[in-house]
Amino acid sequence: MSALKLKTNVVTAKWLSERLHNPQLVLLDASWHMQGSGRDGLTEYVEQHIAQAHFFDFDNEIAADSELPHMLPDAAKFEQAVRQFGINNDSIIVVYDSHGLFTAARVWWMFKAMGHDKVAVLNGGLPAWLAIDGELAAGNAPAVKPGLFIAKYQPQRVADKREVQLSLNAAGRVIVDSRGKARFSGVEADPNPQVASGHMPGAINLHYASLIESGKLVPPFILHQQFVDAGIDGNSRHIYSCGSGVTACIVALAAAEIGVQNWAVYDGSWSEWGSAADTVKVID
């Protein structure tokens, strides 16, 4: 069997169906739901998931020990955790979620941050798979031989609060906030009462939902125009932020698809910035 090759950051359900049982492929279900939704990603995974998929718990199991939600773990913890899925450094990883495109991008970014570029998101997620009558399974994940993945942390893909502070209104740097306009402007309060309203000084608002249609990332030429219309300089260093570091990864995925090279996700995002005493918050 010839080696798998991955040329894009998103793949179609058809592409996946033709390679589902390739031993080089590792499929991850990254489904996660907001508190109060009445839904649970792991419960739904056990009920139904794409055949061969493993459940990737980025919210608890594969996360840093932090007061902030689902922070990126260190390289040692990450590599030990993902080896249980049979992942090696030559593995081709495809990530999906039950929404279509929501949390899968977060796990895509985590692998990018850990030096693994052979990772893509299933465009349209589980709904797209169901639409082609793709092979399904239920119950626990399939047993696999542990992998030997070695993480190589890429600091250029991860921004912290200090970098964001130094980037405020700085030449050659742009902060992009993917929250909705009401949250961004401060009209709508943050769901967490301990987190202030508003946005970072000089930040540009690009709502992640504008990059998605019917649960799929829109074509690259439309993505490019969305960035241009928002006033985002493609040659600057981009720092993507959101509420807690999830939807910022959708913007990162879109940026990667249109060839942006110099970008990072602010892992703490507004959960950190809005609760910190030493940060400036702007309300429009």
Catalytic residues: 242
Residues 6+ positions from 154 with CB-CB distance below 8 Å:
112, 113, 114, 115
For residue 119, what are its two tokens?
A: 């990772």
Longest dimension (CA), the chain: 57
75 is written with which tokens?
Answer: 């390289």
**Number of CB atoms found within 10 A of residue 44's CB:** 16
Mark out the alpha helices in 114-187 (DSSP H runs): 125-131, 161-167, 181-185
Distance between CA 30 and CA 107 in Å, rounded?
A: 7
CB under 8 Å, gap of 24 or more: what pairs does 127-134 form? 127/98, 127/100, 127/215, 128/12, 128/13, 128/100, 128/215, 128/216, 129/13, 129/16, 129/17, 129/50, 129/96, 131/13, 132/13, 132/14, 132/17, 134/13, 134/16, 134/17, 134/20, 134/50, 134/51
What's the Cα-to-Cα distance from 211 to each of 30, 131, 218, 219, rounded to whole Å? 19, 21, 6, 9
Distance CA 229, CA 11 (A): 26
Q: Which residues pair with 121 in a beta bridge?
A: 10, 95
Check: CB of residue 95 under 8 Å from CB of residue 101.
Answer: no
The pair of structure tokens assigned to 218 is 């829109």
